[in-house]
Amino acid sequence: MEKFVIKGPCKVKGVVSVSGSKNAALPILASTLLFNKTVKIKNLPKVKDIETMINLLRSLGSKISFSQNKRIVKIKNYKIKNFFASYSHVKTMRAGILVLGPLISRYGLATVSMPGGCQIGVRPINYHLSGLKKLKMNYKIKKGYVHANAKKIIGSKIKFPKISVGATENLIMAATLANGKTILKNCAIEPEIKDLVNFLKSAGAKIKWTGKRTLEIYGVKSLDSTSYSVMGDRIEAGTFCIASALTQGNLEVCGLKPEIINTEINLLKKIGAEIKTKKNKIIVKGSKKIKNLKLLSTKEYPGFSTDLQAQFMVLLCKAKGRSIIKENIFENRYLHCAELRRLGANIIVRNKKAIILGGANFEGAELMSSDLRASVALVLAAIAAKGKSIIHRIYHLSRGYENLDKKLKKIGVDIKKIR
């Protein structure tokens, strides 16, 4: 199995461009099942999860052709004849559940594998199912699959009991071709959801934000052909900004509108980094002294992102003084703590909080990746550590970071990928 060998410490410097957003591209790709005309999607990241989604769509009958550089796909969903999304596709990429909404809305039929849990949590889909039921989807769960059917998806009023990115996305897609009007309240408002809405509107969908977390959707008979470029990856951008703040670096992070990670930018300023923002770039200069944060809690967008929690924790390990991180979105997202301790971090996990005692001098070690974001946190720590680190099971990283080793090498990191 491939691993990374990283020799530190080093200061990252120069310019890095983020790839297209995995978490925007996945729902947009799933939503192409709503179309009976050709769709072109650009700026796709070359990561494993996108490959898995493409394979899932092809297994349903999508005709998909890639451009030379594999960042552009042309998708023809005229002849979907299979409505079975298998466990093999969904088990490694939980976003596979996002084909349920479009399939049931366009065809009235879908058998989709339950996503199953993962390292960071149980990952239930009860809000997806209860919302779709309100739109007249019938379903039963048998042998780990959702067996769903609907005579016709009918618009309705739905208020999500809890903010859920995936449930919001599934309901937006199902309501797009529904009979009549759907109102969705207490929606997640991550930028990736706005990207999905903008994509569907570019094809003639009648969707509009009528409140901060409220969507109004009038079902249409069919969608037009469209060509759309996926937004830049804000989690990748945040990861590189943290890398610069961590290593007293001087980095220009390009490819996204800085304001979509305002919360994280303000936090980096609070811990002492110097940040300038321009139209499509963020310039981060790390300071020698990293300040601690009394309490950092993850929240739904626009709050501090759970997908940057592990990366930020590495920063706070180096801060002067004690910090506390509270993970509020997932029930088990502290897997990186044990591995960071192996590098010399001083972290206690108690009562669902991580208490970081700060002042760590990381020393290189052998490390084991777990979930996607915990793995990239280990890479950051290895870059800041003195000596050699070996990071095993880096396949977790290739799910969501395109050419990570090449991008890091280009900004001054001594990193090699070995078998």
Nearer Cβ to ligand EPZ, position 13 or 123?
Answer: 123
Return the ∠ at Cα 409 (arms to 404 and 411), rounded to 5°.
100
Regarding 124 and contact with ligand EPZ (CB under 6 A), the answer is: yes
For the record, the structure tokens of 126 come out as: 């009860």
Query: Taking contact as CB under 6 A, which single stretch among the options 104-112, 134-142, 165-173, 318-326 is the one that binds ligand EPZ?
Result: 165-173
Nearer Cβ to ligand EPZ, position 205 or 372?
Answer: 372
Catalytic residue numbers read: 118
Query: Taking contact as CB under 6 A, which single stretch among the options 33-41, 60-68, 117-125, 178-186 is the one that binds ligand EPZ?
Result: 117-125
Q: Is 101 helix (H, G, I), strand (E, B) or coil?
A: helix
Residue 340 contacts residue 363 (beta carbons within 8 Å): no
Q: What is the residue whose two structure tokens read 């009549």? A: 180
Q: Is 311 helix (H, G, I), strand (E, B) or coil?
A: helix
Residue 40 contacts residue 228 (beta carbons within 8 Å): yes
The residues in 182-241 that bind ligand EPZ, with binding defined as CB under 6 A, are 188
Q: In whole angstroms, what is the distance from residue 290 CA to residue 325 CA?
A: 16
The residues in 312-341 that bind ligand EPZ, with binding defined as CB under 6 A, are 329-330
Can you list the alpha helix ranges (DSSP code H) found in 37-82?
A: 48-60
Residue 386 DSSP code? B
Nearer Cβ to ligand EPZ, position 347 or 377?
Answer: 377
For the record, the structure tokens of 194 come out as: 């706005």
Nearer Cβ to ligand EPZ, position 167 or 271?
Answer: 167
Question: Looking at 58, 76, 123, 342, which residue binds ligand EPZ (CB under 6 A)?
Answer: 123
Question: Looking at 89, 128, 136, 234, which residue binds ligand EPZ (CB under 6 A)?
Answer: 128
x-or-dash string of contact with ligand EPZ, 45-84, rule CB under 6 A: ----------------------------------------
Regarding 396 and contact with ligand EPZ (CB under 6 A), the answer is: no
Residue 4 contacts residue 394 (beta carbons within 8 Å): yes
The residues in 26-45 that bind ligand EPZ, with binding defined as CB under 6 A, are 26
For the record, the structure tokens of 400 come out as: 């969501």
Q: Which residues are 275's β-sheet partners? A: 284
DSSP collapsed to 3 states, 24-47: HHHHHHHHHHHCCCCEEEECCCCC
Select the residue whose beta carbon is closest to ligand EPZ and give its number: 166
Minimum distance from residue 28 beta carbon to ligand EPZ (Å): 11
Q: Which residues bind ligand EPZ (CB under 6 A)?
A: 23, 26, 95, 121-128, 162, 164-167, 188, 306-307, 329-330, 372-373, 400
